[in-house]
Amino acid sequence: MVTSIGGPRVLLRQLRETMAEPLASQERLDKIVSLIAENMRADVCSFYVLRDDGALELFATKGLAKESVHMTTLRLGEGLVGLIAAEAEPLSLDDAPSHPAFAYRPETGEDRYFAFLGVPVLRAGQTLGVLVVQNVERRKYGEDETEAMLTTATILAEMIATSDFDNLIKPGSDIDLRRPRMYTGVSFTDGIALGTVVLHDPRVVVTNFIAEDTEQEKLRLESALEKMRVSIDAMLDHGDMQPSSDHREILETYRMFANDRGWVHRLTEAIDNGLSAEAAVERVQNDTRARMLRQTDPYIRDRLHDLDDLANRLLRVLTGDGHALGRKELPENAILVARNMGPAELLEYDRTKLRGVVLEEGGATAHVAIVARSLGLVAVGQAQSIVSMCETGDEIIIDGTAGIVHLRPTPDIEQAYVDKVRVSARRRAHYAALKDKPSITKDGVEITLLHNSGLVADLPMLDDTGASGVGLFRTELQFMIASRLPRLPEQMELYAEAMAIAGDRPVVFRLLDIGGDKVLPYLRSAQEENPAMGYRSIRLGLDRPGLLRTQIRALLMAANGRPLKILVPMVTETFEFLQTRMVVQKEIERLRRAGKPTPSRLELGAMVEVPSLLFELDQLLPEADFVSIGSNDLVQFLTASDRANPRVSKNYDPIALPRLRAIRMVVEAAKRYNIPITMCGELAGKPLEALALMAIGMTRLSMGPASIGPIKEMVLNLDLKPIQQSVGAALSEGADGATIRQLLQEWIDKQNLPV
């Protein structure tokens, strides 16, 4: 076996000195490859950089013909270098020219060299380039040398990411890392946003790559690992974590990795090779990432996320870095990019600067998507692997309507979107022109359009859309942005303000629907296996009557003698509704006794969103003043598919026969009891789905403010009765092989509806 001169530590020290010297980029690279060749006792050392056009350009060489630098290129997958780049794996050969992938480039004079060792230069698991050493003699490079080359490649990756190679690379090209990228995800909200990336969970930037003192670095690593283990144990013991069902499992996985000897051993080995503790974490995580990214198994990809989180945690401990960017200080036109986040986390940001959100996960009816909609943000979910490809400060465009994200857009894409924004401004103006027209179909059916809202700040939009009122005010959103539980006077003020802005337009205040993914950070809750079906909403309200009473009291006092509508969420059995009504009545009596004004008319409604209630409508409806269907939860529970998990929820069309039949059951029962019924789930805001609802006799639709214009335009152009007959027949007799969606699409085409 060949040993290197002085080993990798000496090499890293030399590299550090070279980086600090005042050299031009090319000179520096030339010196670096010479140092590597000398240290590895290699006849050749070459460094290739991956360009944005997919070519690997020879950037520097010691040993190959100098004229080939910046001239020789290989495509990804072509030749040994292209193979290493494509597979992100090292390759060691003692007879390179006989390898089937060997591609001979005569200008390099490469055919004389038999021994070959190439390693990928990786960052966040993505290939940025390839580093190669070669020898004339046939010999096998050992594992230690591969390890040393990988360590050196960590430094080169950093150099590629931070150096300016503009004057070296082929004119008109850029390095692959900064290539424009497009992601196709799922639309959470309509609209277009152009702005700047802000990583919700910023990567820790490692600046100190090379160890001064290896033993010292090992001690730092050991103490950071210990700190991290203790904090994970503490989180597990105290349970003061987000009560999501997966959270505990994730922490358990962290704990497993944090104690994994293989992982710790690889970290220590990287330090032995001369890296600082933080660079060792980055180096090991890079290799793991590269391997795991090439796996399609969703389970392994999930574990990759866990490992990423853990590595980031460890880096934070090592570098003493909190969040690099304070949550509150955002640039103008900020666009948050995250793997996933809860609605409360989104609400923490400064809403005046935020334009959009891009998530790698999430579903369109997840609460974070709902909150994004209610904040008027443009949002796209399921943009796979975007987090590792962007940096805070990158330019980004979200096309919410198409569910597409452009990262670092080219100037022509940007121009196209600037034009699109102008067109959509014209569309908005077009919708605004409809706002005073009565919302009646061509054949005379009146459709009441209402807002879903949750923040007082959204309410002035009523004037812009011309909606008749607020069909669902999610009161919990205000609780989620507060730093502590809002007290009676604060709540009262808030509801009074909402009513004042709405004026004569009714507002349906829904009682607190916390629990599930709607977490109040200041309200401690026990860990639950299944929070969406757990201790939440009115269940919690009735169990902690103080909270419920305070909210009802605040609403009654805010109404100050005016009419008031209150909606009870998550009613599972009629008695829960009746108990809530008793609390309301007691509060009214109390006001009366105190000589304070009581609402001139009080209406108490029930949400129909738990399937069991479908079979108790004859008990519930005579007691209720109105009902509102929450399709988000109803469909989630009917199909037993988590609304926030697209892997399952996307498989079940909410307007397929069984679901639409269930919704129709409620509509018809409400007609029999002559009480108003509204749809306030996300279905109401999507044109085709809204058409399905109108087709089964629903005439009150509550939706995000941005949907009012498009839905109203459809209503104004609609001949509803024939569609009602056709859908009615399909629901009773089956849709003849076609889906309800296809049937409606035919009607949309036939009536040329603007959908």
Binding interface with ligand PEP (CB under 6 A): 370, 472, 474, 513, 609, 630-633, 680-681
Q: Which residues of 140-173 are buried (b: 16+ CB within 10 A; e: fewer)?
A: ebeebbbbbbbbbbbbbbbbbeeeebeebbeeeb
| Of 711, 192, 719, nearest in space to 465 by CA | 711
Residue 395 sits at the vertex; the CA angle it makes with 393 and 397, to the nearest 5 degrees, is: 135
Choose one: 38-46, 176-184, 595-603, 608-616; the region binding Mg ion (CB under 5 A): 608-616
Instruction: Identify what 408 binds: ligand PEP, Mg ion, none; CB under 5 to 8 Å per kind.
Output: none
Q: How far is the CB of 366 from Mg ion (least distance, A)?
A: 12
Q: How far is the CB of 630 from Mg ion (least distance, A)?
A: 4
Residue 147 or 633: the one with the smaller Cβ distance to Mg ion is: 633
Choose one: 88-96, 212-220, 601-609, 689-697; the region binding Mg ion (CB under 5 A): 601-609
Residue 447 or 538: the one with the smaller Cβ distance to Mg ion is: 538
Residue 458 or 513: the one with the smaller Cβ distance to ligand PEP is: 513
Token duo for residue 158: 């950093």
Q: How far is the CB of 412 from ligand PEP (least distance, A)?
A: 39
472 close to 566: Cβ distance less than 8 angstroms: no
Instruction: Identify what 475 binds: ligand PEP, Mg ion, none; CB under 5 to 8 Å per kind.
Output: none
Of the residues 110, 272, 633, 642, which one makes contact with Mg ion according to CB under 5 A? 633
Residue 442 sits at the vertex; the CA angle it makes with 437 and 443, to the nearest 5 degrees, is: 130
Instruction: Identify what 712 binds: Mg ion, ligand PEP, none; CB under 5 to 8 Å per kind.
Output: none
Strand ranges (DSSP E) for 18-85? 44-50, 55-62, 73-75
35 close to 11: Cβ distance less than 8 angstroms: yes
Q: How far is the CB of 543 from Mg ion (least distance, A)?
A: 18
Q: What are phi and psi of 534, to 5 degrees?
A: -110, -140
Measured distance CA(520)–CA(525) in Å, rounded: 9
Residue 555 or 610: the one with the smaller Cβ distance to ligand PEP is: 610
Residue 743 sits at the vertex; the CA angle it makes with 739 and 746, to the nearest 5 degrees, is: 140
Residue 550 or 631: the one with the smaller Cβ distance to ligand PEP is: 631
Which residue's C-beta sits nearest to ligand PEP?
630
The 3-state secondary structure of 698-750 reads: CCEEEECHHHHHHHHHHHHCCCHHHHHHHHHHHHHHCCCCCCHHHHHHHHHHH
Instruction: Identify what 399 binds: ligand PEP, Mg ion, none; CB under 5 to 8 Å per kind.
Output: none
Residue 288 or 632: the one with the smaller Cβ distance to ligand PEP is: 632
Q: What are phi and psi of 501, to 5 degrees?
A: -65, -40
* Under rule CB under 5 A, residue 308 binds Mg ion: no
Measured distance CA(99)–CA(81) in Å, rounded: 12
Q: How far is the CB of 343 from Mg ion (least distance, A)?
A: 13
Q: What are phi and psi of 200, to 5 degrees?
A: -65, -40
Residue 40 or 370: the one with the smaller Cβ distance to ligand PEP is: 370
Token duo for residue 89: 């794996």
Q: How far is the CB of 702 from ligand PEP (least distance, A)?
A: 8
Measured distance CA(746)–CA(643) in Å, rounded: 28
Helix (H) or strand (E) holding 678: strand 677-679
Of the residues 486, 630, 687, 710, which one makes contact with Mg ion according to CB under 5 A? 630
Q: How far is the CB of 116 from ligand PEP (least distance, A)?
A: 59
Counting residues that bind Mg ion (by CB under 5 A) gives 3
Q: How far is the CB of 348 from ligand PEP (least distance, A)?
A: 19
Residue 491 sits at the vertex; the CA angle it makes with 487 and 492, to the nearest 5 degrees, is: 120
Residue 154 or 631: the one with the smaller Cβ distance to ligand PEP is: 631
Choose one: 18-26, 373-381, 630-638, 733-741; the region binding Mg ion (CB under 5 A): 630-638
Q: How far is the CB of 628 from Mg ion (least distance, A)?
A: 10
Query: Which positions from 131 through 160 interact with Mg ion, judged by CB under 5 A?
Result: none
**Axis crossing angle, helix 298-319 with helix 277-293, rounded to the nearest 10:** 170
Query: Which positions from 76 through 135 interact with Mg ion, judged by CB under 5 A?
Result: none
Q: How far is the CB of 536 from Mg ion (least distance, A)?
A: 10
Long-range CB pairs of 412-415, under 8 A, 24+ apart, other chains included: 413/180, 414/194
Q: How far is the CB of 631 from ligand PEP (least distance, A)?
A: 5
Instruction: Identify what 631 binds: ligand PEP, Mg ion, none; CB under 5 to 8 Å per kind.
Output: ligand PEP
In the complex, the residues that contact Mg ion under the rule CB under 5 A are 609, 630, 633
